[in-house]
Amino acid sequence: GDTNFIPKELLLPMESTDRDLLTEWFTQLKGQHVDVSVPQRGYKMDMIKMAHENAETFLEERRRQWQHQIDKTGGAVKKLAEILDLPRLPERMEC
């Protein structure tokens, strides 16, 4: 497989008992040494914080999209139930 996507260095946000195992595994996959480290301060720690913030932002946006889709779909199902004068909302619809 293509291992170009594996970087030379992986930064972890916290210490892991599997750090040596991760180093060994990624090194084997890449075919050259991969350093797995846990930064405590400086630029690399800033990178960890930024990745965490980006993940939170992405997750929140995804949640908004899901909620919008649920609201939109739920509203359509309610409207359909009203139009068809159904006693309750349908659990499933088939074509």
Q: Is 36 left (phi over 0), alpha (psi -120 to 50) or beta?
A: beta
Whether residue 23 sits in one domain with residue 45: no
- State residue 92's pLDDT score: 82
C-alpha span between 30 and 75 (Å, rounded):
50
Task: Check residues 77 and 61 and name the one with the higher pLDDT.
Answer: 61
C-alpha span between 23 and 75 (Å, rounded):
50
Asked if the structure places residue 73 within a domain, the reply is yes
CA distances from residue 73 to 2, 29, 59, 66, 79 in whole angstroms, order as listed? 40, 44, 21, 10, 10
Asked if the structure places residue 92 within a domain, the reply is no
pLDDT in tens, 8-65: 999 999 999 999 999 999 999 999 999 999 999 999 999 999 999 999 999 999 999 9
The strand pairing partners of 35, in sequence order, are 9
Whether residue 34 sits in one domain with residue 56: no
- State residue 15's pLDDT score: 95
Q: How many domains does the chain have?
A: 2
Asked if the structure places residue 91 within a domain, the reply is no
Asked if the structure places residue 16 within a domain, the reply is yes
Asked if the structure places residue 21 within a domain, the reply is yes
Whether residue 73 sits in one domain with residue 46: yes
Whether residue 32 sits in one domain with residue 12: yes
Label residue 26 exposed, middle or buried (CB < 10 Å: 0-12, 13-18, 19+).
buried
Give the residue among 65, 34, 39 at the shortest CA–CA distance from 52: 39
Domain of 29? 1-38
- State residue 75's pLDDT score: 79
Q: Is the pLDDT of residue 1 over 70?
A: no
Asked if the structure places residue 34 within a domain, the reply is yes
Whether residue 50 sits in one domain with residue 23: no
Is the pTM higher than 0.95? The answer reads no
